């Protein structure tokens, strides 16, 4: 007899994923359709209302774009992970963190959030720089999104016991313990409404997880409501 538990489980995961993607795409499409139909009816006389409706259509189209972009990232990373031959190069970790800070800077500034960095100047690692940057950007963007103005976000790089550790700490809302085990699942959100409102797709952390795994590493979270969150990407410091 063959053990097909794993295959069954994979089939279920795939089926759930397709159902979730369809659901996530349906909502903005329905909204776009509704507003376009209303405008085509020709019953919206006020030009200000027409403009408002078109702005909503624009925002929903942007949202669809974000979901599709994240789905493509996820699928590319999973493919790299499956093939097990991620291209890596020696990278100065401090420079990589500063690239991430520069990318997220405007979004932090818009929310009056200070971004701090702590990383030894000579820290080098063999990583896939674009992917690791993307993972850190997702974590820093989340830290910004789920903090209040004035609460700083800190990115730390270090190595201990052959493990490269990249930590993103915030002093924001924090996450209740019951959510932590499912946090890295695709489309899992603690507060659906809040995530959607601030432009989240629910895919950011699953992309981070797969980028860490493609490097032979992992990702962890430590968090409690009211005392902020620390997400850590842990990678083997030397590959080969």
Nearer to ligand ADP, 134 or 229 (CB): 229
Residue positions counted in the chain: 240
**Would you say 201 and 70 are in contact if contact means Cβ atoms under 8 Å apart?**
yes
3-state helix, strand, coil in the chain (%, to 5): 55, 20, 30
Interacting residue with ligand ADP among 28, 157, 172, 217 (CB under 6 A): 172
134 binds ligand ADP (CB under 6 A): no
195 binds ligand ADP (CB under 6 A): yes
**Ranges assigned E (strand) in the chain:** 89-92, 115-118, 124-127, 153-160, 163-170, 218-223, 229-236
The size of the interface with ligand ADP (CB under 6 A), counted in residues, is 20
Nearest approach, Cβ of residue 1 and ligand ADP (Å): 39
Interacting residue with ligand ADP among 71, 204, 232, 234 (CB under 6 A): 204
The pair of three-digit structure tokens given for residue 200, joined into one six-digit string: 């989240």
β-partners of residue 206 are none
191 binds ligand ADP (CB under 6 A): yes
End-to-end CA distance of the chain: 37
210 binds ligand ADP (CB under 6 A): no
**What is the binding site for ligand ADP (CB under 6 A)?**
142-143, 146, 170, 172-173, 175, 183, 188-191, 195, 200-205, 229
């Amino acid at each position: 007899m063959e053990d097909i538990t794993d295959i069954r489980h994979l089939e279920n995961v795939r089926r759930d994923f397709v159902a979730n993607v369809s659901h996530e795409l349906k909502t903005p499409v329905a909204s776009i359709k509704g507003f376009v139909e209303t405008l085509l009816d020709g019953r919206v006389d006020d030009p200000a209302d027409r403009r408002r409706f078109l702005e909503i259509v624009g925002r929903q189209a942007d949202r669809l774009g974000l979901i599709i972009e994240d789905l493509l990232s996820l699928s590319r990373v999973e493919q790299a992970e499956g093939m097990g031959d991620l291209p890596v190069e020696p990278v100065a970790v401090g420079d990589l963190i500063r690239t991430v800070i520069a990318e997220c800077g405007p979004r932090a500034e818009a929310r009056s959030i200070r971004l701090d960095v702590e990383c030894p100047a000579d820290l080098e690692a063999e990583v896939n720089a674009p992917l690791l940057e993307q993972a850190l950007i997702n974590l820093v963007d989340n830290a910004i999104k789920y903090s209040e103005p004035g609460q700083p976000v800190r990115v730390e790089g270090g190595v201990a016991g052959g493990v490269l550790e990249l930590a993103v700490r915030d002093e924001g809302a924090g996450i209740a313990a019951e959510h932590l085990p499912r946090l890295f699942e695709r489309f899992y959100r603690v507060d659906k409404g809040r995530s959607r409102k601030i432009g989240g797709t629910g895919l950011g952390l699953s992309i981070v997880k797969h980028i860490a795994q493609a490097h032979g590493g992992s990702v962890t979270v430590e968090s409690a409501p009211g005392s902020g969150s620390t997400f850590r990407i842990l990678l083997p410091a030397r590959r080969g």
